[in-house]
Amino acid sequence: MLKNYLKIALRNLSKQKGYTFINTAGLAIGMGICLFLVLLTQYAVNMDKHHENSDRIYLLADAITQQNGNVLDVGISPSPWGNQLKQEYPEIEESVRLLDNSGNVRYGEKILRQGITYVDEGIFNVFTYSFKYGSSEGALSRPNTIVLTEDMSIRYFANENPVGKTLLVNDEAFEVTGVLAKKHPQSSFYYNALASFKSLDENDYPAMNDWRSHNLYTYLLLQEGANIENLQVSFSDFIAKNVGEEYVDRYRPFLANFEDLYLYSNLYGERWDSLDVSYLYIFSAIGLLILFIACINFINLATAQGMKRAREIGVRKVLGAYKKQLVFQFIAEALILSVLAVIIGVVFVELALPWFNDIAEWSVTTNYLSNPFYLFSIAAIVLLVGTLAGAYPAFFMSAFRPVKVLKGDQASESGKSWLKTTLVVTQFSVAIFLIISSASVENQLSFIKDKDLGFEQSDMYISSIPGISTKQSMETLRGVLFKIPGVSEVSFSSNIPGEESGSRTQLYPEGDLQEGGVLINNYSVDPYFLTQFEIDLVQGRDFSIDLASDSISSIIINEAAVRKFGWEEPIGRTINQRFEGKDPKDYVVVGVVKDFHFETLHTSIQPLILFSDPSRYFDLSIKLRNADLEPLTAQIGEVLKTFNNGIPTWHYFLEDDLADEYTTENVIAEMLRYFTFLTLFIACLGLLGLVSFTVINRKKEIGIRKVLGASIIGLVQALSFNFIKLVFIGFLIGAPLAYFLISEWLKSFAYSVAPGIPIFVGAAIITMLIAFLTIGYQTVKAALANPIESLKNE
Amino acid sequence: MIQAKSLKKVYSTEEVETTALNSVNIEIKEGEFVAIMGPSGCGKSTLLNIMGLLDNPSDGEYHFLGHDVSNRTERERAQLRKGNIGFIFQSFNLIDELTVFENVELPLLYLGMDTAERKEKAEAALERMSMMHRRNHFPQQLSGGQQQRVAIARAVVANAKLILADEPTGNLDSDHGNEVMKVLAELNEQGTTIVMVTHSPHDADYAMRVIHLFDGHVVTENMQEGFHV
């Protein structure tokens, strides 16, 4: 019997090619999108879970009550906390600190500026890393030992095993004790090299023994079954005992589960990649909606198709088929179609993944064998879609009365009209929703691109300062660079505006904040920096090359800092920097700059302090003018190479790099673009199918109308009007939804532009036009047909 | 085999009630060949549908093979119909997507027979209708007469005791029509009871008995000359 069903299903499918195409294509797209999202979600949810103890690893975070009463959740903590916690609480098995730094790293003739993370030796007990060379055993237990990542190892040693060799980090010798294997793709954070924390002393790291300066990351490994709640409650005792009674209300440390950081964290100072979990929800919802409309397409077409199958159903019933058997037959057919669709859908996924991995910088793969959940999803989607979409037509068709259908009468109705209405309205609501959302996202992204960030970004060549540079050698370099025609400005700084927040230091400005101090972003820039980046000075003066004291005790602050500190007259005010056990140091404000967007547009402009400390200059910015960029870039590269022992330095153009700051947003825009296109495609397929069935159904009516003198235009209008009306209702549902969701999304930006009327009107026009074109051909054809043909009895 | 007493069938829509059959009494014995005649709309097809258990009467009694089946559910009727009643239609009603063999085999599938037995029976039926050479063709590749022979093969394949034919020659030219009538007569000779609705007096001549319907009533019952019950 099953063979019989299969046979008849396949013959029907190959006979009704148009119908099969519409249904399979629609379902395949819907299923493909859903499976694609299953993989993405799975990837995101499993981020960092390859670490064996990931469920027991916690980041020590702190809710700091600031002077103004606001509470700031930070992901950083003071250096001594972790180890003390471990000693006091037996449920804390291990505690490791991560302190990011950078330095000039030299091996033989090769000198490069490298990021280095200082970590406690317990790091390999907490996180799971495999080693390419060496082993985790005691790798960082001695001072001046360093474990390299594979990338860094290759940079210095090519494919040689570097274990036992010595690297000079800022002229200090470090023994390479291991090389980590390639980074696991699902890691939300990364290092370049891990150096032993024991290598640091108070000169390198003044805040080492400061109990109040939040400046590094502490990860704790808890015992199995440790009670997190109790532990967090007891932290107030810990603060009272170790930091001071008066700090109990100020610092409320808490534990953030390592596994949750990627999707759920919203902490100040995140050093890890993160993804707002709501993106997953939104895209899953869109995926399900697309699948849903593909299913309604299927239901409608199959039901309409039922008219053609009426005779078969009648015959089967006369020959003794039970209703149940017919229902089973049609569901089996739906399942077959569903299998066909999922095969195509899976191919779609395979094609889409490389594209997605490329733009999102993920590495999602489909390991069918090692990913039972994906296989299960494929099976589930087939069964779900097959049975759910197959059920309605199955019950509808199996209820045909053989007495009627065998008389040669066509089954009188082709499904309930509410179903058709729902179909068209839902499809176009979703399509319009996506068009508007997608256009609004693009709108916001171009707004970001065009937004005046408050500093110059075009033709800005950025590189690292080559070699070990002293103030002297930097001046020499500047002189050489200026000899190149086309170079108009050169400056050195610790950071480049627009990309990095700079480092954060606890500082104590004069006034209300003097007591508790405040965590402030800061840059170090040379006296040419503000001019080159065209950052306006609103008060006071710029740093001066002639005043040696500027690099030691002068600072420039931004307007946001002036507001934060509550200063009426900022020039001449002082800001104090102090670490426990060290002499405090005062800095005098010599100038105020206009606020500029030194961070991304997700955040509003925060207070910023500019120092002028040459020992912190890492970046070199060169402003180019007009000339042909390519030869000029090559020429600069050659010069920098000579300053870097013949090793080429990296470089990029600021404008390009700023665009990359919005990867997530770009990925979303790109995905929305495709989803919109596919949804429109499915919606049009559905509309096309429906219109052709309607036209068939109304062939006789059209014939009679024509005989009675109806005009062709009148007929096309009569046939199209209903559909266009439904598309319009779709607009009324989709547009407000899109507006609501986009407004929510825009809240993630401190600076945004609301979608304007043109987007809504445009979406309406585009959809109507596409719908009309879809309907047009069929209706015109029907209206032009010779009425004799349609009125003749079969 | 068939006893109908005071059969009544009323079709009602919201505004109109149409009486298709009114107090019809009929008895058909095993082995008979009965023709039902009458003008369009007289209730012939309605009567045939009720006899074939495709429909329930609105009132009256209907006994088939000794069972009172006047008010059975669709499922029960299907159960009784399977293997007992074969149908032949004016428009053949073969399933276009199935081959000749598969069409003939279909009733056996619903009877739950195994493959070997189905093959044997379907081939025997096709052989009987001289259609074996066409077993792998699809209905549209056959002439009308051939299609009807396949339909007859399908009606007899499960050894139905009763064959109901609704204008079996209506869509055929006279040569093919005669051919089909001969086949039906042969079947009747071999013991199958046949009830046939027809417009054609020529076809009715093959029957032993002719029942005339008019406006839902049986008006006359004629025993054909040369036939004896």
In this predicted structure, the answer to whether residue A793 has a pLDDT above a threshold of 50 is: no
pLDDT tens figures, B21-36: 888 899 999 999 999 9
pLDDT tens figures, A370-422: 889 999 999 999 999 999 888 888 888 888 877 777 765 544 544 556 777 77
A4 to B106: CB separation less than 8 angstroms, yes or no: yes
Closest alpha carbon to A668 in A286, A292, A401? A286
A408 to B91: CB separation less than 8 angstroms, yes or no: yes
Contacts across the A-B interface (CB distance below 8 Å): 65
ipTM > 0.90 for the complex: no
- The C-alpha of A338 sits at a distance from chain B's nearest C-alpha, in angstroms, of 21
Q: How confident is the model at residue B74 (pLDDT cuts 50, 70, 90)?
A: confident
Nearest-by-CA chain B residue for A317: B78
- Kindly list the residues from chain A whose CB atom is less than 8 angstroms away from the CB atom of residue B154: 319
Q: What is the mean pLDDT of residues A532-553?
A: 92
- Kindly list the residues from chain B whose CB atom is less than 8 angstroms away from the CB atom of residue A15: 97
Q: What is the mean pLDDT of residues A684-706?
A: 77
In this predicted structure, the answer to whether residue A751 has a pLDDT above a threshold of 50 is: yes
d(CA A285, CA A271): 30
In this predicted structure, the answer to whether residue A538 has a pLDDT above a threshold of 90 is: yes
Q: How confident is the model at residue A467 (pLDDT cuts 50, 70, 90)?
A: low
Mean pLDDT computed over every residue of chain A: 86
B98 to A315: CB separation less than 8 angstroms, yes or no: no
- Kindly list the residues from chain B whose CB atom is less than 8 angstroms away from the CB atom of residue A312: 95-97
pLDDT for A408: 54
* Main-chain dihedrals φ then ψ at residue A326, nearest 5 degrees: -70, -40
Q: What is the mean pLDDT of residues A360-366?
A: 88
Residue type for A625, please?
Answer: R
Position with higher pLDDT, A410 vs A457 = A457
Sign of CA dihedral A330, A336, A338, A344: negative
Contact status of B61 with chain A (Cβ, < 8 Å): no
Q: What is the mean pLDDT of residues A137-143?
A: 93
Nearest-by-CA chain A residue for B45: A403
In this predicted structure, the answer to whether residue A689 has a pLDDT above a threshold of 90 is: no
Position with higher pLDDT, A699 vs A452 = A452
Position with higher pLDDT, B120 vs A273 = B120
First to last CA, chain A: 33
Per mean pLDDT, which of A344-358, A419-433, A764-778 is the most reliable? A344-358
- Kindly list the residues from chain A whose CB atom is less than 8 angstroms away from the CB atom of residue B87: 318-319
- Kindly list the residues from chain A whose CB atom is less than 8 angstroms away from the CB atom of residue B95: 8, 311-312, 315-316
B93 to A406: CB separation less than 8 angstroms, yes or no: yes
A314 to B55: CB separation less than 8 angstroms, yes or no: no
pLDDT for A794: 39
Provide the 3-class DSSP secondary structure of residue A93.
strand
Radius of gyration, CA atoms only, chain B? 17
Contact status of B102 with chain A (Cβ, < 8 Å): yes
Which DSSP letter does residue A131 get?
A: E
Best to test chain B binding among A316, A319, A328, A398 (most B CBs inside 10 Å):
A319
Contact status of A410 with chain B (Cβ, < 8 Å): no
pLDDT tens figures, A572-582: 999 998 876 67
Bridge-based pairing of strands A77-78 and A214-222 is: antiparallel
Contact status of A16 with chain B (Cβ, < 8 Å): no
Between helix A277-318 and helix B100-110 the angle, nearest 10°, is 90
d(CA A222, CA A678): 47
d(CA A99, CA A486): 40
The tokens for A107 are 């091996």
- Which distant-in-sequence residues (6+ apart) come within 8 Å of A663 by Cβ? A359, A360, A361
Q: What is the mean pLDDT of residues A278-307?
A: 83
Q: What is the mean pLDDT of residues A269-282?
A: 84
pLDDT tens figures, A155-169: 899 889 999 999 998
CB A213 within 8 A of CB A243: no
Provide the 3-class DSSP secondary structure of residue B190.
coil
In this predicted structure, the answer to whether residue B181 has a pLDDT above a threshold of 80 is: yes
A318 to B81: CB separation less than 8 angstroms, yes or no: yes
Nearest-by-CA chain A residue for B81: A320
Q: Which H or E run contains A119? A: strand A110-119
The tokens for B6 are 């005071």
Q: What is the mean pLDDT of residues B218-224?
A: 80
Q: What is the mean pLDDT of residues A100-104?
A: 81
Provide the 3-class DSSP secondary structure of residue A488.
strand
pLDDT for A501: 65
pLDDT tens figures, A144-155: 999 999 989 998
Q: What is the mean pLDDT of residues B123-137?
A: 92
d(CA A505, CA A616): 14
pLDDT for B228: 45
- The C-alpha of A10 sits at a distance from chain B's nearest C-alpha, in angstroms, of 9
Q: How confident is the model at residue A276 (pLDDT cuts 50, 70, 90)?
A: confident
In this predicted structure, the answer to whether residue A511 has a pLDDT above a threshold of 50 is: yes
B54 to A403: CB separation less than 8 angstroms, yes or no: yes
Position with higher pLDDT, A738 vs A464 = A738
Per-residue burial over B32-64, b = 16 or more CB atoms within 10 Å of its CB, e = otherwise: bbbbbbbeeebbbbbbbbbbbbbbbbbebebeb
Contact status of A375 with chain B (Cβ, < 8 Å): no
Residue type for B35, please?
Answer: A
B110 to A8: CB separation less than 8 angstroms, yes or no: no
- Kindly list the residues from chain B whose CB atom is less than 8 angstroms away from the CB atom of residue A319: 82, 87, 106-107, 110, 154
- What percent of chain B is modeled with pLDDT above 70? 98
Per mean pLDDT, which of A345-349, A643-647, B70-74 is the most reliable? A345-349
* Main-chain dihedrals φ then ψ at residue B110, nearest 5 degrees: -70, -15
Nearest-by-CA chain A residue for B166: A407
Contact status of A322 with chain B (Cβ, < 8 Å): yes
Q: DSSP assignment of A748-769, as one string?
A: TSSS-----HHHHHHHHHHHHH
pLDDT for A72: 84
